[in-house]
Copies of this chain bind each other. A is one copy, B any other.
Amino acid sequence: MPHTESSTPATELVRFILDKIPLARAMQLELSGWGEDFLSLYAPLAPNSNDKGCAFGGSLASLMTLSGWALVELTLRRRDLACDVFVAESTIRYQRPVWQGFHSEARLAPGAGWSTFLDTLAARGKARVAIECVVPDTDGEPAASLATDYVAKLRPAAA
């Protein structure tokens, strides 16, 4: 990799998110890890708490939605594919209250594959991919999870 610790495609993408999405700044979102097939974001509890002092459902939904979006966006950017990526349908399960800062880990859903997604995008200029995100509790069991589709559309080349 030609990237330094302080400037990887993932850190650049998280800087882009913080620059472009005011709610991500309000959530104090941070990158917590990434690899070929996963991406993890972190949010502290204080700016993301609810009336009961645990994590606000909207913050859990937002962090999971962004971690999945970032995984798709990063996969495209690393191939120099300029796309707009939209979230389509999501199913969210809130399984346990979360009493501390939390991570969302995004991965391809079982049965989904980047090669199918990228081939369809190349052929049709538009493709859909299924992603799963999990917020693990302190014991590793899911506290919240998200199953969602993202749609990527190739942007027309600049004139």
Q: Count residues of A near B (Cβ-Cβ below 8 Å).
A: 37
A57 x B52 contact (CB < 8 A): no
State which residues 36-70 of A face B: CB under 8 Å: 46-52, 56-59, 61-63, 65-66, 69
Set B20, B57, B97: member contacting A51, Cβ < 8 A = B20
Report Cα–Cα, A24/B51, bound state, in Å: 11
Asked if A92 is at the interface of the complex by the 8 Å CB criterion, the answer is yes
A58 B48 Cβ-Cβ under 8 A = no
A48 to B24, CA, bound (A): 9
Please provide the 6 A-B residue pairs with the shortest distance between their CB atoms, ordered closest to farther: A58-B62, A26-B26, A20-B51, A61-B61, A57-B87, A90-B92
A93 interface residue per 8 A CB criterion: yes
In this assembly, does A89 line the interface, its C-beta being within 8 Å of a C-beta of chain B? yes
Which B residue's beta carbon lies closest to that of A73?
A: B51
